[in-house]
């Protein structure tokens, strides 16, 4: 049986966020590196992750390393936006039903976070 992490990697590999609707739990929480309050609930988490997929999955996005536990993973990524190399970490937790219950993102450097914030704001407004 595929785990939530396997399903997440399929989304990244295929660049298709449509599978998020079944992957994200109803009570999931998203922690943005820019927004100071957690975003709670399936609809808003899917919205943020879909926007992130639209911004980041441009061909340069790649995971560099993973630390995986029974029900969580930390995935270090790298992506280039407008010649700015951005490094970050996705911390993903999932439940017994292999649905993501928490998704937390850290990003560096500041210039990269600002670029990502701008691109995500544009996506979320549409």
The answer to whether the CB of 34 falls within 8 A of the CB of 26 is: no
Q: How confident is the model at residue 1 (pLDDT cuts 50, 70, 90)?
A: low
Domain 4-125 maps to which CATH number in 3.10.450.50, 3.90.78.10, 3.30.460.80, 1.20.1300.10? 3.10.450.50
| Confidence (pLDDT) at 86 | 95
Domain spans in the chain, listed from the N-terminal domain onward: 4-125
State pLDDT tens for residues 69-95: 999 999 999 999 999 999 999 999 999
pLDDT at 126 over 80: no
Q: Does residue 32 carry a pLDDT above 90? A: yes
SS3 2: coil
Instruction: Look at residue 31 and tell me whether its pLDDT is greater than 70.
Output: yes
pTM: 0.92
Query: How far apart are alpha carbons 81 and 61 in whole angstroms?
Result: 10
Angle at 75 between CA 12 and CA 89, to 5 degrees: 105
């Amino acid at each position: 049986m595929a785990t939530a992490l396997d399903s997440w990697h399929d989304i990244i590999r295929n660049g298709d966020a449509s599978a998020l609707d079944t992957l994200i739990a109803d009570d999931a929480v998203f922690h943005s590196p820019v927004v100071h309050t957690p975003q709670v609930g399936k609809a808003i988490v899917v919205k943020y992750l879909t926007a992130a997929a639209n911004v980041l999955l441009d061909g340069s996005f790649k995971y560099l390393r993973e630390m995986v536990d029974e029900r969580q993973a930390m995935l270090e990524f790298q992506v280039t936006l407008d010649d700015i190399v951005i490094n970050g970490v996705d911390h993903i937790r999932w439940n017994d039903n292999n649905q993501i219950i928490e998704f937390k993102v850290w990003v560096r450097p500041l210039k990269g976070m600002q670029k990502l914030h701008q691109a995500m704001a544009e996506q979320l407004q549409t």
